[in-house]
Amino acid sequence: MFQLNDNYLKLPGSYLFSTIGKKVREYQAAHPDQKVISLGIGDVTQPLAPVIIDALHRAVDEMGHRETFHGYAPDLGYEFLRTTIAKHDFQARGADISADEIFISDGAKCDCSNIQEIFSQDNTIAVCDPVYPVYVDSNVMAGRTGTYDPQSGVWSDVIYMPCTMDNDFVPELPKKTPDLIYLCYPNNPTGSTLTKDQLQVWVDYANRVGAVILFDAAYEAYISEENVPHTIYECEGARTCAIEMRSFSKNAGFTGVRLGFTVIPKDIQRDGVALHALWARRHGTKYNGAPYIIQRAGEAVYSPEGKEQLTKQVAYYMNNAAVIKEGLCKAGYRVSGGVNAPYIWMKTPDGMTSWQFFDELLNKANVVGTPGSGFGPSGEGYFRLTAFGTYESTLEAVRRIQRL
C-alpha cells in the first residue's frame, strides 16, 4: 500500500489567496454594479515589449527549418544567454560571476523552492517575517520545519527574523545559528531593501558561521537608489556563501512566458564538494531546460532596445507605486516600500487587523489588497498593495481609499 509524504499534510493550506478570491467573488455577486479594483496580486499587466515579441517570432521561425531547429536545450541553458547574463547582470557591476556559474530555468519560484533539495534535511532555515511563502512551504514539504502552531502561525524548527516598522524592516542577525538563510531584496512583501553595507553584514555573518544565503533578487530591476546592491555578489566574500535566484517575470513581464536563473559560484564548498556540482547534477536529472524560443526572448531583454523598452515598463509600474505611496501618505496612512520595489506596505489604521482592513477596503472602497498576516505573524497589522495595475485603475483605487 502506498504511503503519502506526510509533510504535505502539515501544510496549513493556501488560505490567503483562496480566501481573498472567495471574499471578492461573494462581494461582487452581492454588488454586481460595483467595479472592484485589485491591487492585490503580484502579476504584471503590461504586454510584452516589442523587442521581445520580435525575438520570439524570429525564434519560432527558426524552429520551422531543419538547419535552425533546436531540440533539448543544454543542461545549464544556452551559452548565448548565460554569457549575456554574466556580462550585463554581474561583470558590468563588478561582480565576479562567469557564464558557467549560471543555470537557466523557467523561473525563480521553482528555483527557490527546489534549491533546498541539495542540502541535508537536518539543516535549519532562517526566514524574514513576513516572507514570500514559497521558502517556508517548500521546506515544509521536505520535512525540515517541525510542527505548526495554528495560533501563532509559527513552525517550531524555523528561525523567524521579524521585519517591522520597529527595525525599519531590516532583519537582525538571528540568535540561534541557521544553516540556510533566505533573503529577498528588494523585498516581497514589504517593498523594503538593504543597502550594500547592510547586505555585507549578512555575507560576513554567513561566512563566519558557515551558512549559505539563498538570495532572491526577483525584483532587482526596480532598484532606484544608488547604495542598493543589484546582486549579492557586489558584496565581498559572497562567492563563498551565496546563491542568487533571478527572474524575468517582473523586469520583462515574463510571468506567463517563464524564464529565470540561479547563480551558484564554484567557491561554495562543503568538505571539498561544490554546491555547483550538486545543482548541476540535479538540473541534469530533473529538468530539461527552458525552451530555445524563450531563451532567445530572454537574450533580447539585454539588447540596447530591450533595455530601453523595459526601463520604460518598469518606470510605468514605479510611477504607480509613487501614486499609491503619495496618495496614501496624504490620506494619513503610514506607508513604506515603493521606492526600490513595486510593493507598498502600509500599517493598518486604528489598530485594525490585516483582515479587518481588507474587509473595510473591499466593502467601502471596492479595492482589493493583500492582508499582511498572510505572509507571516509579523505581517499582522500591515497590508500590501501592488504597483502592477494599470495607471488608470491605480489612480482610481487611491482616490477611493482617500475618500474612506
Ligand X SMILES: Cc1ncc(COP(=O)(O)O)c(C=O)c1O
Kindly list the residues in this chain that would bind ligand X in the complex (CB under 6 A). Answer: 42, 107-109, 112, 132, 184, 188, 216, 218, 247, 249, 255, 260
Closest separation in Å from C-beta 91 to ligand X = 22
Residues 119/212, Cβ–Cβ less than 8 Å: yes
Rounded to a whole number of angstroms, the minimum distance from the CB of residue 132 to ligand X is: 4
What does DSSP say about strands 125-129 and 159-162: parallel, antiparallel, or unpaired?
A: parallel
Amino acid occupying residue 143: G
Tell the smallest beta-carbon distance from residue 247 to ligand X (Å): 3
What nine digits make up the cell of 288?
A: 530539461
- Bridge-partner residues for 263, per DSSP? 102, 244
Taking the complex as a whole, the smallest distance from the CB of residue 41 to ligand X amounts, in Å, to: 9
Residue with smaller CB distance to ligand X, 128 or 401: 128
User: Are 246 and 218 within 8 A, CB to CB?
Assistant: yes
Nearer to ligand X, 365 or 388 (CB): 388
For 168, left (φ over 0), alpha (ψ -120 to 50), or beta? Answer: left
Backbone φ/ψ region at 376: left (φ over 0), alpha (ψ -120 to 50), beta: left
Smallest separation, CB 112 to ligand X (Å): 6
Q: Which residue has the cell 501618505?
A: 329
Instruction: Give whichever of 164 and 262 is closer to ligand X, judged by the CB atom.
Output: 262
**Measuring CA to CA, how many Å separate 155 from each of 146, 304, 380?**
6, 47, 16
In the complex, minimum distance from the CB of residue 261 to ligand X, in angstroms, rounded to a whole number: 9
Contact 383, 354 (CB under 8 A): yes
Of the pair 217, 401, the CB lying nearest ligand X is at 217
Contact 129, 163 (CB under 8 A): yes
**CB nearer to ligand X: pick between 135 and 365:** 135
Nearer to ligand X, 119 or 135 (CB): 135
Distance (Å, whole) CA 308 – CA 303: 9
Nearest-angstrom CA–CA distance, 312 and 314: 6
CB of 255 to ligand X, least distance (A): 5
Q: In this structure, which amino acid lies at residue 85?
A: I
- Specify which residues 246 forms β-bridges with: 261
Cβ proximity to ligand X, 216 vs 244, nearer residue: 216
